[in-house]
Structure 1
Amino acid sequence: MKKSIHSYAWIKVWTPKAAGDVAPKAAAKGFNHVVIPMRDHSTIHPADIARIFGSHDLTPVATATQIADADISSLDPEIRRRGMDRHRASLRLARDMGAYHMGGIIYGLFGKAGNAATDENRKAAAEALAILAAEAKTMGVRLAMEILNRYETSMFNTVADAVAFLKMSSSDNLFLHLDTFHMNMEETDMMAALKRALPYLKYFELDQNDRGLLDRGAIDFGPMLRFLKENDYSEIIGAEAFSSAVSGPDVARGVSAWRPLFSNGDEVADSANAV
């Protein structure tokens, strides 16, 4: 079983020493993959990550981002070019740390949008990701798009729209990442959405309705996990949670982690294992 946990369960923000802090804790709780957010490339030391993770039999999972002046969904050619360059830098880091999966909000900006994305924005992003996915394939890395709720992106919010985007890209190395927190907000039928996503699904992330501990909350993961097992799903299953007691200020603002839902990542790991 490919079982992943987000490093932010234990740390406020990724730093050069974070691999040494997180790796032994994740491994001790039985995880074999750990998410590394590549918000700030200067903090990512791939050789150290590869060495430390390797010593704990862990595989890094990279998540990449775009920023306001480097965004592949922009209709400004220069901003779009810088977005491509940023992703290429992320891909090199992912490859060098030993990751085979780079996911996240790779198709545009994260955060509440001021207006709806246009078909032109989606077309620009799909074309860019098709190129990047082809380049990633030569590095042994696949790309997976996380589908977010309406408050965190206006590009697409449902599996149906994300699948349409995938078909627009025509890439054989671009896949889906589902997060139950976002599905719970946007899908009218979570099981139907999961079934539709299954042919493209490479990361299924457990995330409760309040983004707190996974074994307490409104989302029943059982039916979805049983469906995946019955259909021989063999890709990554991840655990994610956020708490004001742990999250750094930038992370807390980004995901609105205003309450202390847990005090230590061990609680997240234990709740994920219980589920």
Structure 2
Amino acid sequence: MQVGINLLCLAGYITEAHLPQIRQLKALGYDGVEVPILSGDPAHYEWLAGELDAIGLRRTSTSVIPSPDANPLSADIAIRARGVAHLDWIMDCALALGSESIGGPFHAPIGHFTGSGPSPDEIRYGAEAHHAMAETAKANGITLSLEHLNRFETHFLNTMEQARAYVAAVDHSAFSIMYDTFHANIEEQKQPRAIELIAGHMGVLHISENDRGIPGRGHIDFPEIFKATRATGYDGWVTLEAFGGGLPEIAAATRVWRPLFPDYDTLFSESLAFIRGQWEAAA
């Protein structure tokens, strides 16, 4: 098991200004970071890769579909082409970063709804795009870890029953699911059962409390989640995802406008101790 942290707690675009806090993560004992790839170009992520190598941190990444005008699920062939081009851009940046896994909801625009669940055509278009993306991922020794979101953020992928079916539709060994405890807390009746449904197909485990703050301070039953995860044989990335106020670039997507942790020192140290302690206790 490797412990990571989603750097969206710091910013949506990581620059030199964030390196002191990233060095702090290494000093505390994090194995890696999950880098948001939301803007920029491969040259920037190649620079960041060098900095992270020097610090000694491995990395995964997270990305989204930015708007309905670049939706890989669209019935409009031109829009769908822009969506596929965006997936190619995500891949180029992730490869430059040296990302081990590409995660996040890179399936449909967040907050964009059709008035119903995913249509057969949307599933078909998505599966085609993600299968092609997985081919590139496999050729470069990395995996895709597609993230489900709750029903208030997307109509496309909400439950692990849907996720299992979508894994079968994509049908590629380099394609998996990023399981997020925050979204599952809304959508799943029992998280252990949801985790069992995608046994063997979990690419990243996102540890996110019910309020998006420090894990262990809310009501999510993490002991049962860690026990269920370990029972599947999973031994990959266990990544903290927490959000704070004051980051305009992500507030609109996460609906977080208030501080959810007292300071970064507390977030970093308490969360790491909690994750490692829960993982060991679940053995």
TM-score range, shorter chain: over 0.9
Q: Distance between the aligned counterparts of 2:46 and 2:36, measured in 1?
A: 16
What is the correspondence of 1:129-168 to structure 2 with a 5 Å cutoff? 129-168=130-169
Aligned to 2:281: none
Cα deviation, 1:52-85, whole Å, max 9, x if unaligned, reads: 1111221121112223221211111111111111
Seen in structure 2, the aligned counterparts of structure 1 residues 65 and 231 have a Cα distance that, compared at 3 Å, is closer
Match of 2:71? 71
Deviation at 1:209, TM superposition (A): 0.7
Structure 1 counterpart of 2:277: none
1:249 aligns with 2:248: yes
The alignment status of 1:190 with 2:196, answered yes or no, reads no
Does the aligned pair in 1 maintain the 2:208–2:241 contact within 8 Å? yes
2:58 aligned residue: 59
Q: Secondary structure at the match of 1:175?
A: strand
1:115/1:271 Cα in 2 relative to 1: closer, same or farther (>3 Å)? farther
Pairing 1:106–2:97 present = no
Partner of 1:232: 233
8 A Cα contact 1:38 1:44, kept in partner: no
- How does the TM-score come out when normalised to structure 2? 0.90
**1:268 match:** 267
Deviation at residue 190 of structure 1 after TM alignment: 0.8
Question: Which position in structure 2 is the counterpart of 1:3?
Answer: 3
Q: Which runs of 5+ in 2 are unaligned?
A: 275-283
Deviation at 1:128, TM superposition (A): 0.9
Q: Judge conservation of contact 2:3–2:272 (CA < 8 Å) in 1.
A: no
Q: Offset at 1:23? A: 2.3
1:211 and 1:241 in contact (8 A); partners too: yes
- Closer/same/farther in 2, CA of residues 19 and 88 from structure 1, 3 Å limit: farther
Report the alpha carbon displacement of residue 186 of structure 1 after superposing the two structures with TM.
Answer: 0.1
CA distance in 1 between partners of 2:268 and 2:199 (Å): 25
How far 1:236 sits from its partner (Å)? 0.6
What corresponds to 1:14 in structure 2? 13
Report the alpha carbon displacement of residue 196 of structure 1 after superposing the two structures with TM: 1.1
* Aligned-partner residue type, residue 194 of structure 1: I
State the 1:225 CA deviation: 1.1
Indicate conservation of the 8 Å contact 1:64/1:87, yes or no: no
Paired residue type of 2:189: T
Instruction: Say whether the 8 Å CA contact 2:63–2:90 is kept in structure 1.
Output: yes
Deviation at 1:25, TM superposition (A): 2.2
Counterpart mapping for 1:211-230 below 5 A = 211-230=212-231
Looking at structure 2, the residues matched to 112 and 86 of structure 1 have their Cα atoms a distance apart, in angstroms, of 17
Which residue is equivalent to 1:50? Answer: 49
CA distance in 1, matches of 2:6, 2:227: 23
Alignment RMSD, CA only?
A: 1.8
Quick one: distance in 2 between partners of 1:70 and 1:184?
29
Unaligned runs of 5+ in 1: none
Checking the alignment, whether the CA contact within 8 Å between 2:144 and 2:203 is kept in structure 1 is: no
Q: How far apart in 1 are the matches of 2:78 and 2:172?
A: 24
Choose 105-114 or 73-82, whichever is displaced more: 105-114
Q: Could you say which residue in structure 2 is the equivalent of 1:90?
A: 90
* Farther off after superposition, 220-229 or 77-86: 220-229
The CA deviation string for residues 140-194 of structure 1, in whole angstroms up to 9 with x for no partner, is 2211111110011100210000111111111121101011000000001111001
Report the AA paired with residue 19 of structure 2: G
Distance in 2 of aligned mates of 1:84 and 1:74: 11
Helix, strand or coil for the counterpart of 1:198? coil
Distance 2:56 2:169 in 1: 37
Q: How far apart, in 1, do the equivalents of 2:23 and 2:262 lie?
A: 18
Retained in 1: the 8 A contact 2:134–2:143?
Answer: yes
The alignment of Structure 1 onto Structure 2 pairs a total of residues equal to 272
Paired with 1:272 and 1:118, the residues of 2 have a C-alpha distance of 39
State the one-letter code of the partner of 1:6: N
